[in-house]
Copies of this chain bind each other. A is one copy, B any other.
């Protein structure tokens, strides 16, 4: 029942991570009302802020839940229900923004891009010029197509039109450039199992700007329900950060410890180095895939994400079969999620502890698997291109 530990997880979360960040989960004594744990939690909060570039002391949350919960909590705690929100959607998770907003009673307008493309700034500006939107909801990286939005640009636009910018950084935080406070990105959220390299189960959110603080200050007071009330969680977060104990709902102690260890590792690597590594490996992967004749879903290099790549399968190759055969080669790839890409594409996650060996192994396994499945692939073609890219990048 237990999977082979030598496999490489080339999925967009859970990701390739190292035992380093897991080791400290093996403890029987983490207790959420102990000082020891409060100190660890406080460290995690502070380090997470540094990773997203949020300034000191802003409300920051690490709570038990998935990235989806982080999306929902971010929205309902900063934007009054009934407000008009603009979803800039680049695929499945953009549409998830829309579903979350609709199901919470917001008035939702969706701007949609073709699969593999992003919505142009002109289109967004056009829409904002037409009507007033309380908030803009967007995914930094759209995990279903592997494209990256221009968040820095969007932040300028949002400021101009006085809309709150809420960014889902689930597949971007710690792997794509992001300085939320400097850029004026109001709210950033993510999940633990992506480039933060921690097992899934933690939702992370940070308010980053004055505007966010105001919006949160107002909206969070009126949140319906109990678990999603960030204003209550905030007391606990502040307490932990000050080395005091507080309680709202039991935190996921072991995951918080793993997260703190991982954030420490991330900051030791250095954010700039880390982003550079992810960018270089993403470029290498794309070079390899294209050289073996595959078409990348992302429309161009400038919008291709550092963290996840979607590519079309060659004619005659079924994605499920591809995944299943890749698994026997100890490389786990992901299936398409975007409705328009079903049955004709696959996805590769490349974030966290990912290194050149993982990229090379993945390209090699793909070459052999596609060949065996009857595709016209020249063995070594993808690898050669990947090797050349790596050498040019000094990797």
Can you list 11 A-B contacts with CB-CB less than 8 angstroms, sorted by A residue number? A19-B19, A64-B66, A67-B250, A191-B250, A199-B254, A199-B255, A200-B250, A201-B202, A224-B224, A357-B361, A371-B391
Chain A positions 240 through 257: 1 when the CB is less than 8 Å from some CB of chain B, otherwise 0: 000000011111111100
Chain B: CB-nearest residue to A252: B201
Neighbouring B residues of A69 by C-beta, 8 Å: 64-65, 227, 249
A380 pairs with B391, CB closer than 8 A: no
Neighbouring B residues of A103 by C-beta, 8 Å: 224-226, 229
* Bound CA span A332–B327, Å: 25
* Neighbour of A13 across the interface among B28, B250, B386, CB < 8 A: B250
B384 pairs with A384, CB closer than 8 A: yes
A199 pairs with B30, CB closer than 8 A: yes
Chain A positions 246 through 270: 1 when the CB is less than 8 Å from some CB of chain B, otherwise 0: 0111111111000000000000000
Stretch of A1-9, A179-187, A300-308 that contacts chain B:
A1-9
Neighbouring B residues of A2 by C-beta, 8 Å: 20, 24, 27, 36, 40
Q: 4 shortest A-B CB distances, which residue pairs?
A: A380-B384, A201-B252, A357-B361, A68-B249
A16 at the interface (CB under 8 A from B): yes
Chain A positions 67 through 97: 1 when the CB is less than 8 Å from some CB of chain B, otherwise 0: 1110110001000000000000000000000
* Bound CA span A218–B372, Å: 50
* Neighbour of A387 across the interface among B99, B250, B367, B387, CB < 8 A: B367
A33 at the interface (CB under 8 A from B): yes
A67 pairs with B249, CB closer than 8 A: yes
Chain A positions 357 through 395: 1 when the CB is less than 8 Å from some CB of chain B, otherwise 0: 100110011011001100000011001111110110011
Chain A residues packing against B (C-beta within 8 Å) = 1-9, 11, 13-14, 16-20, 22-34, 36-37, 39-40, 43, 64-69, 71-72, 76, 99-100, 103-105, 191, 193, 199-202, 224-229, 247-255, 327, 329-332, 334-335, 337, 353, 355-357, 360-361, 364-365, 367-368, 371-372, 379-380, 383-388, 390-391, 394-395
A391 pairs with B364, CB closer than 8 A: no
* Bound CA span A318–B251, Å: 26
* Bound CA span A27–B357, Å: 19
A200 pairs with B65, CB closer than 8 A: no
A8 pairs with B357, CB closer than 8 A: yes
* Bound CA span A60–B372, Å: 41
* Bound CA span A89–B210, Å: 41
A364 pairs with B380, CB closer than 8 A: no
* Bound CA span A32–B335, Å: 12
